Amino acid sequence: MRRLMYLAALLLLLPLLVGTAAGAKRQLATPRYDHDLSRPPNTLYWYDDIEGDTSGWTTVDNTGTGTPHFHVDTYYAYDTNSWWCGTMAYDANGGYGNSWDDRLDIPPTDVSGSTYPILTFKARYDSEFNYDFTYVQAESGRVWIDLNTGYDGSSGGWFDIGVYGFPLGAYNNPVVARFRFISDGGWSDEDGLYLSDGGAFHCDDIRIFDFYTSQNYFFDDVESGGLCVPSVPSVQWGDWWHVVVDNCSSYSPPHSWWCGDDADTSLIPPNLNNSVITPPANITGAVTCTLRMAIHAEVPTVDNDYWHNAVRFNGGDWLSLGSWWGDFGGCDGWGTSGFDGEDLTELLPDARQIEVQYKLTFFTTENGCGPGSAGGAGINLDDTWFEGVDESAVDEASWGRIKSFYR
């Protein structure tokens, strides 16, 4: 996620704007503006201030439902076969998708008697720089420890980590270690915004041995089908989106959607991958369309927690609009899409009937995060709407006649 932060100069110039703005992959999140739904020439196709029936909305816990992407493959293999976290589903060069969380688990390995146990391997990777990472991890007292800072960008081909590798003596015995690949909600081979070359991650010749005696305790050359075990999160972490009353002073009181913990508003729950989705909105006849929404965010700019916006048309694939993180300040701090909004015009399908949906997804890491700046850690969604210019006939009098020539 391209987490851009507002410059201090901007805050000085706009002292009435709320809090600290969030960063964005595509653009800066915009501070609050009062919206006027009667502004010409826009047609209001659908609007919800969350004050009435919300039964048409959908909330989804996306955790615990994935299929492992690590598998044994000959594609770009180091030596006949290698482990690959990737797919050929998106493009001919192979790649990966949005919101992946994949693990390749090394079986528990007893290193008793080893003076200096080491993990080594050969690998190649290609994933979006600064946003999609492959971590090497070991468990210590039920806590996963990152042994590297995360592989991202392109390795430029296969590399050998060498005999020095990652020392394992400070962690559990039997050793419990793994590779973990994590991608964010946008910019991958899936949406075509980042085209990797055989991404996300390959590995081979995975070895745990004693540095001084060279005694092997574990070795997987992947040539007999592989000894490691692919996995994805198997636990449902809960659907945390729900309608609340005056949580953080709703944008249009008293109700808004909130993804957070009612019992402890100081911390964001861990392992979230939760979506809230609008009902299908009929925008048939739109020649332009803009999505607007009001969001209050308390997602501290640490760790790797963020929210992601997406839309889809006529029940098709979700199209990424960008990913953000950050705080909007106190409970009166709301960021909205303002007058710019999310312009969907270039995404409109060439169809006689068009329905559009918006999806807001909130992601947190294994330790969650918090506290938020006002003790309301989480994210709120309030007023949401689609507006645009309609292709229906215009008034042929005065300006209507003139404008009709330019439709």
Asked if 222 and 246 sit in the same domain, the reply is: no
User: Band of the pLDDT at 184, cuts 50, 70, 90?
Assistant: confident
Region of residue 294 (left: phi > 0; alpha: psi -120 to 50; beta: else): beta
Of the ranges 9-23, 205-219, 251-265, 273-287, which one carries the lowest mean pLDDT score? 9-23
Asked if 95 and 31 sit in the same domain, the reply is: no
Rounded to whole angstroms, the Cα distance separating 172 from 363 reads: 29
Q: Please check whether residue 100 lies inside any domain of the structure.
A: yes
What is the arithmetic mean of pLDDT over 206-229? Answer: 96
- Average pLDDT value for the chain: 83
Rounded to whole angstroms, the Cα distance separating 115 from 126 reads: 35
Residue 331 sits in a domain of what CATH number? 2.60.120.200
User: What is the longest distance spanned by two Cα atoms in the chain?
Assistant: 92
pLDDT of residue 324: 82
Asked if 25 and 111 sit in the same domain, the reply is: no
Q: Please check whether residue 363 lies inside any domain of the structure.
A: yes
Q: Please check whether residue 397 lies inside any domain of the structure.
A: no
Asked if 198 and 264 sit in the same domain, the reply is: no
143, pLDDT greater than 50: yes
Asked if 163 and 227 sit in the same domain, the reply is: yes
Asked if 300 and 187 sit in the same domain, the reply is: no
pLDDT of residue 96: 97
- Evaluate the omega torsion of the peptide bond into residue 254 and state whether it is cis, within 30 degrees of 0: yes
23, pLDDT greater than 60: no
Rounded to whole angstroms, the Cα distance separating 66 from 226 reads: 21
Of the ranges 28-37, 115-124, 224-233, 325-334, which one carries the lowest mean pLDDT score? 28-37
Q: Please check whether residue 89 lies inside any domain of the structure.
A: yes
Q: Please check whether residue 393 lies inside any domain of the structure.
A: no
- Max avg pLDDT among 111-115, 231-235, 322-326, 339-343: 111-115
pLDDT of residue 365: 79
pLDDT of residue 331: 63
User: Band of the pLDDT at 106, cuts 50, 70, 90?
Assistant: very high
pLDDT of residue 369: 65
Asked if 223 and 250 sit in the same domain, the reply is: no
Rounded to whole angstroms, the Cα distance separating 381 from 59 reads: 12
Asked if 299 and 202 sit in the same domain, the reply is: no
How many residues are there in the chain?
407
Rounded to whole angstroms, the Cα distance separating 336 from 26 reads: 15
Q: Please check whether residue 394 lies inside any domain of the structure.
A: no
Residue 160 sits in a domain of what CATH number? 2.60.120
Asked if 212 and 93 sit in the same domain, the reply is: yes
pLDDT of residue 330: 61
Q: Give 232-290 pLDDT, tens digit per residue.
A: 988 889 999 999 997 666 788 899 999 988 888 778 888 899 999 999 999 999 999 99
Of the ranges 165-179, 308-322, 323-337, which one carries the lowest mean pLDDT score? 323-337
157, pLDDT greater than 50: yes
What kind and span of H or E run contains 10?
helix 8-13
Asked if 305 and 332 sit in the same domain, the reply is: yes
> Tokens standing for 104?
């390749």
- Max avg pLDDT among 12-16, 139-143, 184-188: 139-143
User: Band of the pLDDT at 36, cuts 50, 70, 90?
Assistant: very low
Q: Please check whether residue 403 lies inside any domain of the structure.
A: no
Asked if 113 and 217 sit in the same domain, the reply is: yes
Number of domains in the chain: 2
41, pLDDT greater than 70: no
Q: Could you tell me which residues are beta bridge partners of residue 323? A: 308
Q: Please check whether residue 400 lies inside any domain of the structure.
A: no
Q: Report CA Rg, the chain.
A: 24
Asked if 117 and 266 sit in the same domain, the reply is: no
User: Does residue 378 or residue 230 have the better pLDDT?
Assistant: 230
Query: Which domain covers residue 142, as residue numbers?
Result: 70-231
